[in-house]
Structure 1
Amino acid sequence: MASSMTTAQTDTVALVDARIINGTGTAPVDDGVIIINAGRITAIGNSNDIDIPDQANVVSMAGKTIIPGLINAHGHVSDVLGLESGHYNTENLLRQLNLYASYGVTTVISLGGDEREAFELRDTQQTPALDRARIYVAGPVLSADSPDEAAALVDEVARSNPDFIKIRVDDNLGRTAKMAPEVYQAFSDRADHHGLPLAVHIYYLDDTRQVIEAGGDFVAHSVRDRHVDQAFADQLIAADICYSPTLTREVSTYIYESEPDFFSDPFFLAGVDSEILDTLREPARQQRLRDSAMAQQYKAALPIAMSNLKILADAGVTIAMGTDSGPAARFQGYFEHLEMWMMQDAGLTPMQIITSATGDAAHCMGISDELGTLEAGKWADLVVLSADPLEDIRNTRSIDQVWIAGKALPRPGF
């Protein structure tokens, strides 16, 4: 039996009559109750097992499904405003975090481009008064020409107390030089020295194998050059390495060669400025993408990425939902749902997908003590859905409410 509160508090909330999916992958709880006090869950379970404090504010969730707040394990809270860069300031960061929250993405792992303002937001979010998505930060994406330079860069960033170190091991489809193995080994060694996990942007299977051998801690994109095998899955599992597919990253590289179907989706339109869509509809812009060899190469790589996701999930690799959203036209909030829908198209079950976007994402990013699952002691970050996501993951679009730190947030425009 879940523990119950013995002293009623005037700020205690009891969510009752709910169907609860707790983010651990276990079966849903029907006729569920969640007791919340001071922003955290104090008890959760079937109504037969929970004592509701006498003075609790009781809120019926009849007909609703509650899931943990979604965690984007690879996003960017960046300097982009509309389609323009150069707007890195607290106001714009808060705009993005509020947009993520409106879509039920209550935590964002910002893997690169993070400056002082983001660190300050990270440092002030451990409070019941929080009213926007949480952020965790990596600082700049690091690159070096030598092992000594790599070590020095990690030392410099570590002074800011980041949550991760981020590097790129990629050649942009043969267009740029790739980081040398001895350099990413130095990044890994120095990150370990500071106790910081190393997240790595990859593309090629061989590079990913070598990065894992070098001590990389998080695979921040899909392998896209060829199909993976059981040996690669075994390598990930043995090293306890999580894999973030970021399928929508590939989508963003080519989808605006014509008008995407989601441009007419009300769930998408609720969170986007129409002027952005007008720009993306410009014929000359669309033609440039149709003519772009790089865009077409990424388009061809997407089916490989989707197939690899299914192979690795079936093999037991831990998948962390991530999107690489935040750069221009990678639409924060909506792309996290699109990512989950694409994961279902790749063959994952709705329960696998929900777990990857909640409990598993929190585990992979080292924040599971506080977030990711609906359990006593954790922050009450949750999403209330009007339709059952286990019937179809596309039902994540049926957001009725988003709660962060035990409060339902306003969602202007939704």
Structure 2
Amino acid sequence: MKAGSMNPAPWLRPAAAFLAIASAAGSAAALEPDVLFAKLSDSVWAVRTFDAQERPLRAGSAVVIAPGRLVTNCHVLAKASNFVVKRDNVTYGATLEYPDPARDLCQIRVANFTAPPVTLAPAGGARVGQRVYAIGNPRGLENTLGEGLLSGLRGGDGEARLLQTTAAVTPGSSGGGLFDSDGRLLGITTFAARDGGSLNFAIPAEFLAELPARAQAQLAARAREPEGGARRSADLGGIGLNEPLRVGDALEYVRTDRLTGNRTPVVYRLERVAGDELSFNAGSRVEKANGQVVSITSPIGGVFDSASPPGGWAPKDEIRSGMRWHLDYVTTTGDRLRHELDATVGAEHTTRVDGVELNVLRISYQGWIYASYGTGASLVGTPFNVAALYSPELRRIVKFEATHRRASASITNESLELVRIQR
């Protein structure tokens, strides 16, 4: 070989050819959005759930991951007696195959279903700043494409437990797909921080490989529960309801308008722990380790958040039956109304959260709300009543009911109930 020649030795040529091919593949142009959508749209379906009387409950999305198998969020299927998957005018009955509620991933099975499965992105390949696309059914609008960036990898212990994205995730999108620019599945879209700008989140697709084993382990654990289904949290070992929250864990509540019966899932997901402060949903809710509220900037829990007193609805370090206190405060969100309330703690009793029996104390608040006008407050109040169940074991409110009869004769009557802790 002449000096300065760039031709490789014969034994290097196969390796050089392989590297050239790999380089060309790695630098291949990303799919145009219309091409990507055409490739994937047949693999993302809508989910509709129904109660025992066939009344509609929730709507969501699901992604085909194998022949006759789709994955959605477990919270989409919560409380459903049956559910279907649909696209355009085609509907299939579906059954639950592998539930993993701790990660909010549920695999469902559909018979005689031929929709093509998607390709999963390589594990650990997600990169902050890469272009991503969300496909789902927001607010019932089937097969909607959204574009954005992967804006963060959230989690702990060296594991990305959540993908943060600017691609929109709205009600109905839960269970849809988050794809890279090659059309590979990066994650399952799950929730957005309400009033938090472009703060949307997906569960990494690499978790899907563990779904069958985790589901079978959880079902086996439930089979060992005491007869009758009631479990004391002390009996749950490694999955105790009362274990400290870790980054990526989430508190799932259901908010109900008791006048209309409308139910809305409310999820507070822990994203950061700094000292003794826990930050949920991109900092829109911050609590102390003892459960007392530091700040709320996005009232996704309705009255539970918008009317929250300083420190929250259980603001004392130790709450006991018979305690009383008086509150006079102006809320920090919404219309910043003045609240004047008297609190009373009742006797201890029990309630269940996700099948676990908990001791709780009932805290009753009675008083008035005064509207603000200009720089002063109205002297005419409107009655406001709250009943909250507080769990000393969890150090948080597990059920909340509020009634407010405003001067306009309209009534707010809503509840918020903890249904499970996602781990």
Higher normalized contact order (CA 8 Å, seq sep 6+, divided by chain length): 1
- TM-score normalized by structure 1? 0.27
Greater share of residues in helix: 1
- TM-score normalized by structure 2? 0.27
